[in-house]
Amino acid sequence: MITVVFACVHNAGRSQMAAAWFELLADSTLARAISAGTRPAAQVHPEVVAAMREVGVELSQRVPRQLDDALAGSASLLVTMGCGESCPVVPGVPREDWPFEDPKGQSIERVRVIRDEIRERVRRLVHASGWASQRGPRADSPRPAK
């Protein structure tokens, strides 16, 4: 089983969105996502919860978790998202840095842009890696806001 770890500072925005998109877009029999942070927040940022809820993804019950060396070492791929030098470098684990803006404190309009940019980057990753789900159209595009 391939494990992709998405990491950011607070594990309350970018990495949570990336892991949620990965869960929707990837075939769960081939790959899974974990999200974590170098300094986890108490909860997912409310503006992130709201933006993801608009597309039918519920993050309000997710709890940010600590990124430690053991978790990073269990990854098949470590995707860092703004944690810079505080994210671990693990010998033998490929690492990509996705420089997305932090959604914390941003307007809902800006968080939507970040959400959609992250979705597209995750979509490209799962397709390029051969992990894409065959579940149908919902996996490639969010549901419209209600």
- The question of whether 8 is a catalytic residue gets the answer yes
- 57, 87, 111, 126: the catalytic one is 87
Tell whether the model's pLDDT for residue 136 goes beyond 70.
no
Average pLDDT of span 62-87? 89
Tell whether the model's pLDDT for residue 137 goes beyond 50.
no
> Residue 110's Cα: distance from chain center in Å?
17
CA distance 92 to 90: 6
- 4, 5, 7, 8: the catalytic one is 8
| Least confident segment among 26-35, 43-52, 86-95 | 86-95
- The question of whether 83 is a catalytic residue gets the answer yes
24-40 residue pLDDT tens? 999 999 999 999 999 99
Mean pLDDT of all residues belonging to the chain: 90
Query: Angle, nearest 10°, between helix axes 108-129 and 46-53?
Result: 70
Query: With helix as H, strand as E and coil as C, how does the chain read?
Result: CEEEEEEECCCCCHHHHHHHHHHHHECCCCEEEEEEECCCCCCCCHHHHHHHHCCCCCCCCCCCCECCHHHHHCCCEEEECCCHHHCCCCCCCCEEECCCCCCCCCCHHHHHHHHHHHHHHHHHHHHHHCCECCCCHHHCCCCCCC
50-65 residue pLDDT tens? 999 999 999 999 999 9
Find, among 101, 108, 139, the residue nearest to 21 by Cα.
139
Model pTM above 0.75? yes
The domains located in the chain, with CATH, are 2-139 (3.40.50.2300)
Find, among 6, 19, 2, the residue nearest to 97 by Cα.
6
pLDDT band at 74 (very low <50, low <70, confident <90, very high): very high
- State what percent of residues in the chain have pLDDT above 70: 92
Tell whether the model's pLDDT for residue 75 goes beyond 80.
yes
- 5, 71, 83, 111: the catalytic one is 83
- The question of whether 134 is a catalytic residue gets the answer no
Question: CA distances (Å), 42 to each of 18, 21, 88, 128, in order?
Answer: 18, 21, 21, 34
